[in-house]
């Protein structure tokens, strides 16, 4: 399996624009009411790489879940290419913080899971596509390994292949690398940028790590909690591919961190 | 290999001791007979009984009859128990009703159903099946429910974003994810089914077929203790074989896939 995989499925690069209009979402629990998102609006271009950063509890995952269709907003709406999102769909795949791979399937079985839901492909084509994505995340030598035999980083690679395989228009990544060590993460930063350029997806990437956000994103959105809102937006005009250790990143990272601290000290975060 | 050797030596020793105290072995012309054959028959008597009745076809026939009852009852128990367990996991209403019923009945040894079964169904196959089903059903139901409720919700969420419908998610995600629990419940259900069937066969004589348990019963009536012990051997053997042939492979597979410890 090489880059020159032939199936037409692999030469299709769907992407989508995404907009979120005045979304508000509250959760009521025994402890009281939490405004997870208040009047949040964003618009994301086709093929754009956007990072959400912000302290814990500021609604990043909630917004991602709303876009994924796993959660419904109280008011406002999320639109993909102009049509409202009402339920989960193959055009928007999620990569969770925990790998969420299925332990009863082997590696290739996991990658095939989403492909099997796709009509218009026969099993041989599905296998070809699955193998291509395993190759793309450098896991092609582990196609028949059991999930528990993989390291944390390898699991996230497989999870990435599983999310990419059905060829979604949008990839939603919720702190996918936060449980990994620094070395593994560094490799993945390179790989994800490479894959993003090859597959031309629209990507939303949630993280706590400002430097990570600057390394990956075309744009970084800064969230603050209570109520969850988007406070500031930073464009990242740096050339790609970027390395997390590049000096160029330092300046912008510092500015974003300072902004975060500013809101923090103003008592708006806890 | 070492495991098998240890097991073999242990059992050989047990049989030697048994033979020694029941007069099968002679030492310089002396026999040691602590108990009369009515109390504890010697290994040779038991072996003779097993051999004769295997050759004349009586034991194999009754084995067939018993295993048929066991299998039919067990499968019916599974077919009812697994879906009910899934419903109980999914709907609080089912959990509060059938789930609690199951909890109660699971604590009831299934022999206790024998008197009722005899009145409802008479001395028939149906009575035996009923007892076996009561033995299987509840433990399978409870472990399926427990298994499904232990599945991390993130699996279903991941599946839904990949375009899996609710029914597809239930069958291809939630059910396999709960497999370790369900299989151990099936194993427990099998053990209960086997026990209930033996109890039922000992109590109920059915004209439609003479099962293993009924041989045990008549062995006692006729004071043929070598028959009783011989049949006990067979019962143990069936239990062991079922474990090794049916459940061990499934468990080995599960442990390998899930990576759960097992030595
Ligand atoms: N299902 C839920 N039930 C009740 N409250 C919830 C639920 N989901 C989220 N919340 C609350 O909504 C707020 C936002 O949560 P969210 O998970 O979106 O934060 P986050 O920005 O992703 O945080 P983190 O960085 O820690 O993942 C939090 O205060 C959280 O307690
Ligand atoms: Mg989160």
Please check whether residues B22 and B45 belong to one and the same domain.
no
Please check whether residues B25 and B46 belong to one and the same domain.
no
Is B248 within the bounds of a domain? yes
Please check whether residues B2 and B91 belong to one and the same domain.
no
* pLDDT tens column, A52-106: 999 988 999 999 999 999 999 999 999 999 899 999 988 999 998 888 999 999 9
Nearest-atom number in ligand 1 for the CA of A175 is 27
Please check whether residues B186 and B135 belong to one and the same domain.
yes
Number of structural domains (chain B) is 2
Evaluate if residue A204 carries a pLDDT over 50: yes
Please check whether residues B25 and B94 belong to one and the same domain.
no
The reply to whether residue B160 touches residue A114, judged by beta carbons under 8 angstroms, is: no
Is B222 within the bounds of a domain? yes
Q: Quick check: A73 and A58 in contact, CB under 8 A?
A: no
pLDDT band at A234 (very low <50, low <70, confident <90, very high): very high
Paired with B147 in beta bridges are none
Q: What is the ipTM of this complex?
A: 0.85
Is B69 within the bounds of a domain? yes
Is B263 within the bounds of a domain? no
What is the per-residue pLDDT for B263?
52
Indicate the pairing of strand A170-174 with strand A202-207.
Answer: parallel
| C-alpha A55 to ligand 2 mean position (Å) | 9
Q: Quick check: B176 and B247 in contact, CB under 8 A?
A: no
What is the per-residue pLDDT for A267?
58
Torsion angles phi and psi, residue A44, rounded to 5: -125, 130
0.90 surpassed by pTM: no
Please check whether residues B9 and B85 belong to one and the same domain.
no
The reply to whether residue A102 touches residue B176, judged by beta carbons under 8 angstroms, is: yes
pLDDT band at A128 (very low <50, low <70, confident <90, very high): very high
- Ligand 1 site, residue A55, Cβ cutoff 6 A: no
pLDDT band at A270 (very low <50, low <70, confident <90, very high): very low
The rounded mean pLDDT for chain B is 89
Evaluate if residue A269 carries a pLDDT over 80: no
Tokens 């990994």 -> residue: A180
Paired with A219 in beta bridges are A50, A235
CA distance A176 to B14: 59
Please check whether residues B196 and B89 belong to one and the same domain.
yes
Give the domain ranges of chain A. 8-265
Evaluate if residue B166 carries a pLDDT over 60: yes
Please check whether residues B30 and B50 belong to one and the same domain.
no
Is B142 within the bounds of a domain? yes
Is B170 within the bounds of a domain? yes
Is B134 within the bounds of a domain? yes
* pLDDT tens column, B223-239: 889 999 999 999 999 98
Q: In terms of residue numbers, what domain contains B115?
A: 41-258
What is the per-residue pLDDT for A178?
86
Nearest-atom number in ligand 1 for the CA of A29 is 4
Please check whether residues B139 and B211 belong to one and the same domain.
yes
- CATH code of the domain occupying A8-265: 3.40.50.300
| C-alpha A61 to ligand 2 mean position (Å) | 4
CA distance A170 to B24: 80
* pLDDT tens column, B40-58: 888 999 999 999 999 999 9
Shortest distance between the Cα of A257 and any Cα of chain B, in A, equals 32
Rounded mean pLDDT, B64-85? 94
Given A93, A104, A162, which is nearest B177 (Cβ)?
A104
* pLDDT tens column, B171-226: 999 999 999 889 988 998 999 999 989 989 988 887 778 899 998 888 888 888 99
């Amino acid at each position: 399996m090489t880059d020159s995989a032939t199936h037409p499925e692999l030469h299709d690069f769907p992407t989508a624009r995404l907009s979120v209009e005045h979304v508000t979402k509250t959760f009521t629990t025994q402890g009281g009411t939490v405004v997870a998102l208040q009047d949040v609006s964003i618009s994301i271009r086709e093929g754009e790489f956007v990072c959400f950063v912000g302290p814990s509890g500021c609604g990043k995952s909630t917004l991602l879940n709303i876009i994924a269709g796993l959660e419904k907003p109280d008011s406002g709406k999320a639109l993909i290419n102009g049509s409202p999102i009402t339920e989960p769909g193959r055009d928007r795949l999620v990569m969770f913080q925990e790998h969420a791979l299925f332990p009863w399937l082997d590696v290739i079985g996991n990658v095939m899971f989403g492909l099997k839901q796709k009509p218009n492909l026969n099993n041989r084509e599905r296998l070809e596509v699955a193998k291509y994505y395993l190759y793309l995340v450098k896991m092609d030598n582990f196609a028949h390994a059991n999930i528990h035999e993989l390291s944390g980083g390898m699991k996230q690679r497989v999870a990435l292949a599983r999310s990419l395989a059905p060829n979604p228009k949008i990839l939603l990544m919720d702190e996918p690398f936060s449980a990994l060590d620094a070395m593994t993460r560094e490799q993945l930063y390179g790989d994800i940028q490479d894959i993003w350029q090859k597959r031309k997806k629209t990507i939303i990437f949630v993280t706590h790590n400002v430097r990570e956000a600057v390394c990956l994103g075309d744009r970084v959105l800064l969230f603050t909690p209570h109520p969850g809102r988007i406070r500031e937006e930073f464009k990242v005009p740096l050339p790609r591919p970027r390395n997390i250790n590049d000096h160029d990143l330092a300046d912008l990272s510092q500015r974003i961190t300072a902004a975060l601290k500013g809101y923090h000290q103003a008592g708006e975060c806890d | 290999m070492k495991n098998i050797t240890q097991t073999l030596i242990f059992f050989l020793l047990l049989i030697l001791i048994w033979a020694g105290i029941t007069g099968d072995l002679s030492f310089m012309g002396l026999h040691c007979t602590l108990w009369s054959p009515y109390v504890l028959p010697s290994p040779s008597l038991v072996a003779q009984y097993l051999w004769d009745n295997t050759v004349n076809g009586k034991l194999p026939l009754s084995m067939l009859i018993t295993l048929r009852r066991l299998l039919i009852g067990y499968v019916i128990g599974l077919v009812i128990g697994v879906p009910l367990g899934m419903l109980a996991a999914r709907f609080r209403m089912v959990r509060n009703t059938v789930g609690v019923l199951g909890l109660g009945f699971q604590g009831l040894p299934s022999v206790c159903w024998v008197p009722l079964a005899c009145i409802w169904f008479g001395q028939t196959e149906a009575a035996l099946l009923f007892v076996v089903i009561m033995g299987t059903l509840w433990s399978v139901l409870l472990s399926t429910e427990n298994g499904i409720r232990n599945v991390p919700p993130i699996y279903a969420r991941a599946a839904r974003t990949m375009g899996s419908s609710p029914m597809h998610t239930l069958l291809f995600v939630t059910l396999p994810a709960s497999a370790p629990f369900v299989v151990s419940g099936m194993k427990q259900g099998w053990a209960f089914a086997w026990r209930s069937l033996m109890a039922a066969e000992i109590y109920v004589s059915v004209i439609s077929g003479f099962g293993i348990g009924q041989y045990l019963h008549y062995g006692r009536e006729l004071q043929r203790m070598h028959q009783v012990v011989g049949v006990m051997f067979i019962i143990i053997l069936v239990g062991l074989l079922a474990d090794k042939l049916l459940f061990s492979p499934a468990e080995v597979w599960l442990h390998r896939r899930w990576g759960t410890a097992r030595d």
